[in-house]
């Protein structure tokens, strides 16, 4: 499996349940959903893959991949190592408590018995602890399911969901609850599952919270809290609940008028003096600017993606930015430049072609390093039609 391969989830998969609970109208519809995950999310996905499919898979003798660790920074490797040690520590604890422990790593879990069908997801890590011998009825009693979820972001994730509780005040992380219920379906016929645990692995924050529950707690929370909200979402019912927090990771946010309206409405400013003070900027303007930028970036990325797929946006067209000059062989470029007396050509790192040309002069630069210059393809972007340049951009160096 390629490390960049994405595991497909259904629209109301466990990973998106918290979003649906927060706003039942955030369920992606009609192919309009957009995923605007940034570089940080991509780095987290790489760490997640390295932890699960490489380190842990090898430890538990499951199918694994050999990842190139040179793509990680020292901090990222340290974070994966802390996560790895935490998971192994929890596994060894289970081994001390139970005679036999089964291990699940990033496996598909069916949830059709608990959520509108078809529904499934991929659980990160799960341990199922069993007694040594079955009871007189042939059932292994007092077994336990322990689900752990690895998070490499900087947003705190809890083992509970305090915003959404049962009538008796019970609260469980909905993603882990769903996975727990799916695993319960697999083992409940042969084993008497009496206990459950939910764990979060957050090495960036050095947070590893664990919650212990009764087996019925997971099933009750699924039945009373999660299922009703998901069914409303699937039926297109429920209500909008826009807020900066709720809309941040919503896959419908760039099409949702409620999200756009709650960001753009600045009626509070109408009651302020003509010159706003720093307190107003801090409390109102700055958060607005940040949220508006996020909305604009997400909208632009969505439109660019659709344009690359063939959609025509009125007044806009795809364009390619100017190619940038790069060295075909940096080491040879250093050698030649130093040989010609340009000691300033190499400081902490080699000067870019533009910087080197300024240092040497255009003619000299072209004479001694011209054969090592190549061009890196520019990025494709979306611009107003009258600004389209594309591949006809002038190549100054070769002119």
Place of tokens 């595991």: 7
Q: Are 185 and 110 in contact (CB under 8 A)?
A: yes
Residue of 137, 136, 216 whose CA lies nearest to 184: 216
Contacts of 268 (CB under 8 A, 6+ apart): 284
- pLDDT recorded at residue 259: 72
Residue 279 CA to chain centroid, in angstroms? 34
- pLDDT recorded at residue 34: 56
C-alpha to C-alpha distance for 156 and 173, rounded to whole angstroms? 12
Place of tokens 């939910």: 198
- pLDDT recorded at residue 122: 93
Domain 28-234's class? alpha beta
Tell me 232's DSSP state: H
Helix 353-360 vs helix 362-369: crossing angle, to nearest 10 = 120
CA angle 70, 72, 78 (to 5 degrees): 115
- The torsion defined by the Cα of 203, 204, 210 and 215, in degrees rounded to 10, comes to -90
Q: Are 150 and 124 in contact (CB under 8 A)?
A: yes
C-alpha to C-alpha distance for 281 and 395, rounded to whole angstroms? 45
Has this prediction a pTM greater than 0.75? no
End-to-end CA distance of the chain: 46
Residue 156 CA to chain centroid, in angstroms? 14
Q: How many residues does the chain have?
A: 399
pLDDT tens sequence for the chain (399 residues): 333 333 355 778 898 899 999 998 888 765 555 555 667 788 999 999 999 999 999 999 999 999 999 999 999 999 999 999 999 999 999 999 898 999 999 999 999 999 988 889 999 999 999 876 666 676 666 899 999 999 998 889 999 999 999 999 999 999 999 999 999 999 998 888 999 999 999 999 999 999 999 999 999 999 999 999 999 998 888 888 877 677 777 877 777 777 777 666 555 666 666 677 788 777 767 777 777 777 788 888 888 888 888 889 888 898 887 788 888 888 888 888 888 888 777 665 778 888 888 888 888 888 888 888 888 777 777 666 665 654 433 333 333
- pLDDT recorded at residue 21: 94
CB under 8 A, 24+ apart: contacts of 225-229:
225/21, 225/164, 225/165, 225/166, 225/174, 226/17, 226/21, 226/114, 226/115, 226/174, 226/177, 226/178, 227/114, 227/115, 229/20, 229/21, 229/24, 229/164
Task: Cite the DSSP H helix spans in the chain.
Answer: 17-22, 39-49, 57-59, 74-97, 174-187, 215-221, 227-234, 244-247, 257-264, 278-280, 286-308, 330-339, 353-360, 362-369
CA angle 72, 78, 83 (to 5 degrees): 110
Structural domain boundaries in the chain: 28-234, 244-311, 318-392
Place of tokens 């596994």: 91
Q: Is the Cα torsion angle 228, 229, 232, 234 positive or negative in sign?
A: negative
Q: Phi and psi of 37, rounded to 5°? A: -55, 135
C-alpha to C-alpha distance for 310 and 56, rounded to whole angstroms? 41
- pLDDT recorded at residue 306: 86
């Amino acid at each position: 499996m390629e490390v960049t391969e994405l595991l497909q989830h259904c629209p109301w998969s466990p990973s998106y349940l918290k979003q649906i609970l927060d706003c039942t109208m955030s369920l992606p519809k009609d192919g309009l959903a957009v995923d605007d995950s940034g570089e940080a999310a991509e780095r987290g996905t790489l760490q997640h893959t390295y932890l699960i499919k490489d380190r842990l898979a090898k430890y538990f003798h499951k199918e694994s991949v050999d990842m190139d660790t040179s793509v990680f920074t020292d901090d990222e490797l340290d974070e994966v190592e802390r996560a790895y040690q935490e998971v192994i520590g929890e596994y060894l604890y289970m081994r001390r408590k139970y005679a036999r422990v089964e291990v699940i790593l990033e496996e598909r879990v069916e949830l059709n018995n608990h959520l509108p069908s078809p529904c499934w997801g991929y659980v990160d890590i799960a341990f199922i602890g069993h007694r040594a011998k079955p009871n007189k009825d042939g059932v292994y009693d007092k077994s336990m399911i322990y689900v752990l979820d690895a998070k490499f972001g900087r947003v705190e994730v809890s083992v509970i969901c305090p915003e959404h509780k049962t009538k008796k005040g019970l609260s469980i992380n909905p993603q882990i609850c769903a996975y727990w219920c799916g695993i319960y379906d697999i083992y409940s016929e042969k084993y008497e599952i009496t206990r459950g645990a939910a764990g979060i692995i957050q090495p960036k924050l050095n947070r590893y919270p664990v919650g212990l529950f009764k087996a019925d707690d997971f099933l009750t929370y699924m039945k009373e809290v999660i299922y009703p909200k998901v069914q409303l979402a699937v039926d297109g019912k429920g209500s909008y609940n826009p807020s900066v927090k709720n809309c941040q990771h919503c896959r419908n946010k760039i099409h949702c008028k409620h999200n756009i309206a709650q960001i753009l409405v600045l009626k509070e400013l109408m009651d302020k003096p003509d010159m706003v003070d720093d307190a107003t900027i801090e409390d109102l303007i700055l958060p607005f600017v940040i949220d508006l930028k996020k909305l604009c970036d997400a909208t632009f990325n969505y439109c660019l993606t659709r344009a690359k797929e063939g959609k025509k946006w009125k007044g806009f067209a795809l364009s390619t930015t100017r190619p940038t000059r790069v060295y075909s062989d940096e080491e040879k470029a250093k050698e030649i430049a130093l040989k010609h007396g340009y000691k300033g050509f190499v400081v902490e790192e080699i000067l870019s072609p533009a910087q080197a040309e300024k240092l040497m002069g255009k003619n000299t630069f072209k004479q001694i390093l011209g054969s090592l210059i190549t061009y890196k393809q520019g990025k494709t972007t979306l611009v107003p039609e009258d600004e389209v340049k594309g591949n006809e951009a002038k190549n100054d160096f070769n002119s």
